[in-house]
Copies of this chain bind each other. A is one copy, B any other.
Amino acid sequence: MATCRAAARPIATNQQKADLLLKVKCFIFDCDGVIWLGDKVIEGVPETLDMLREMGKKVFFVTNNSTKSRAGYMSKFLSLGLDVKAEEIYSSSYAAAAYLESINFQKKVYVIGETGILEELDLKGISHLGGPSDADKKVTLKSGEFMDHAHDVGAVVVGFDRYVNYYKIQYATLCIRENPGCLFIATNRDAVTHLTDAQEWAGNGSMVGAIVGSTKREPIVVGKPSDFMLKNISASLGLAPDEICMVGDRLDTDIMFGKNGGLTTALVLSGVTTPEVLNSPDNKVSPDLVLNKLPDLLSIKAALVSA
């Protein structure tokens, strides 16, 4: 007896790619598995990005990494031979600052996190305290001990922080519990993250979890999979959601994230998703387009030239 299976999702034809490029005005790229694999750029990616830019498309590279600012993250691209502008990088450190700007935030921010968040807040003119300067602070819990805190802190931003400590946890807790209306913003809640190529490391889910645990408050998440970034990009460019295409290698994160936001979605098979997983009856996530790898789009250029 034949097993009932959904039809296999074929690789996009030139016509489908052309339709995509006609409709879409902005591409949002997940990086690992799409732009690079480990420490190597996927062959043909620089030329593909050049082609998209020549066609007038906007491109954004998204990362939930908040330890660096957009400018700081550029070195990663440049070291791989990818010529990008800082404003084409959408890090969760930038998302935190952009969120505060979007609500016309006027108070101070207490930061659990690294330099990336501080640099992005500086660029938006938002004053802050905490971050790396609290890395070595210790708490003595002797009788009568009282930790003072700034009562004009109106938001706590929590990003990945390899120097997280009890001082920072208590300071953030005091701001959120005692300053009326104080916001609790998380760059992301990723459980683990590839901080080194050798291992998965506990991610910002830990730092956020620590503050959830002491405040019993849920954070506003500004990085993936929250839709703030998508709304922020579509608002700033004046685009409809389906004029933006999310390109990723993961069905359950990247593609779901794009679909939830009403974006056009393209799956590349150059990362973690295999054709078997894509076409498995267990997979309920259907991207608008499937490419073997991002440089598949270059065939359009060849087709146009030969036409």
Mark A residues whose CB is within 8 Å of B: 139, 141-147, 161-166, 169-170, 173, 177, 189, 191-192, 195-216
CA–CA, A192 and B204, complex, Å = 21
CA–CA, A59 and B139, complex, Å = 35
CA–CA, A123 and B22, complex, Å = 72
**4 other contacts beyond A147-B201, A191-B215, with CB at 8 A cut-off?**
A202-B210, A207-B210, A209-B213, A210-B213
Copies of this chain, whole number: 2
Asked whether A166 lies within 8 Å of B163 as measured between CB atoms, the reply is yes
CB neighbours (8 Å) of A139 from chain B are 162
Asked whether B170 lies within 8 Å of A202 as measured between CB atoms, the reply is yes
Asked whether A173 lies within 8 Å of B206 as measured between CB atoms, the reply is yes
A169 to chain B, nearest CB (A): 5
Asked whether B191 lies within 8 Å of A162 as measured between CB atoms, the reply is no
CB neighbours (8 Å) of A169 from chain B are 164, 202, 206
Asked whether A141 lies within 8 Å of B213 as measured between CB atoms, the reply is no
CB neighbours (8 Å) of A144 from chain B are 196-198
Asked whether A162 lies within 8 Å of B145 as measured between CB atoms, the reply is no
CA–CA, A163 and B206, complex, Å = 15
Which one of A147, A163, A206, A215 has the highest number of Cβ atoms from chain B below 10 Å of its Cβ? A206
Residue of B nearest to A204 (CB): B213
Asked whether A197 lies within 8 Å of B143 as measured between CB atoms, the reply is yes
A194 to chain B, nearest CB (A): 10
A75 to chain B, nearest CB (A): 14
CA–CA, A42 and B187, complex, Å = 48
CA–CA, A205 and B201, complex, Å = 21
